[in-house]
Amino acid sequence: MSGQLNVAIGGIVLAAGSLVAIAAFTGAGPGDSSMLRYWAMIAGLGQLATGLVQMMEEARAEPPAAAASNARLLSGSIGAEDYPQAAIRADVEGKVAIGFTVTAGGAVEDVRVLSSSGSGALDRAARRLVAERFCFEPARDAAGAPIAQRLRRTVTWRLPGD
């Protein structure tokens, strides 16, 4: 069971135990033995502690292996012909930082704007073109197996004719 699941279960059991204890103190429910009042609270705290320890261990787990060789662009480019017409009409230029994942198969996924140009048209175009056009040779681990790798590229948009 994962640490987060243990914490969630512990929280639920602790809440239930608290309600039982409150009911016993107010005389709204059975409660002859003070140990019975607290059994759910104790169980919930134990579950919470177990979950927190598991979450700490999961956080300390080995990070994924670093790439022995980085992904290499095989095809894909963005040129002046790709300049969004709306940005040309608005006389807008800018730089867009794009983050994306190169899969073990060399495809581009999870394309995001990391730093905006200030123009939605330029940002959307850069994001779309990277996702549609770029193809990579994937990164490889120390054993030579292809692995996914997160990359970042900056697209600089300059008005045609500048």
What digits encode the pLDDT tens for the residues 79-113?
Answer: 989 999 999 999 999 999 999 999 999 999 999 99
> Residue 53 pLDDT > 80, yes or no?
no
For residue 69, CA distances in Å to 59, 101, 148 come to 26, 15, 11
User: In 3-state terms, what secondary structure has residue 157?
Assistant: strand
Place of tokens 């320890």: 53
- Residue 58 parent element (H or E): helix 34-59
How confident is the model at residue 20, as a pLDDT?
Answer: 61
Q: Which of 13-17, 23-27, 33-37, 77-81 has the highest mean pLDDT?
A: 77-81
Q: What's residue 160's pLDDT?
A: 79
pLDDT given at position 147: 94
Query: Residues with Cβ < 8 Å from 90, sequence gap 6 or more?
Result: 119, 121
> With bands split at pLDDT 50, 70 and 90, how would you rate the model's confidence at 161?
confident
Going from N- to C-terminal start, the domains of the chain cover 3-59, 72-157
Assigned architecture for domain 72-157 = 2-Layer Sandwich (3.30)
Q: What is the pLDDT of residues 142-160, one digit of tens each?
A: 999 999 999 999 999 999 7
- Alpha-carbon distance of 142 to 145, in angstroms, equals 7
pLDDT over 90, % of the chain? 53
Q: Whole-prediction pTM value? A: 0.58
Question: How big is the chain by its Cα radius of gyration, in Å?
Answer: 27
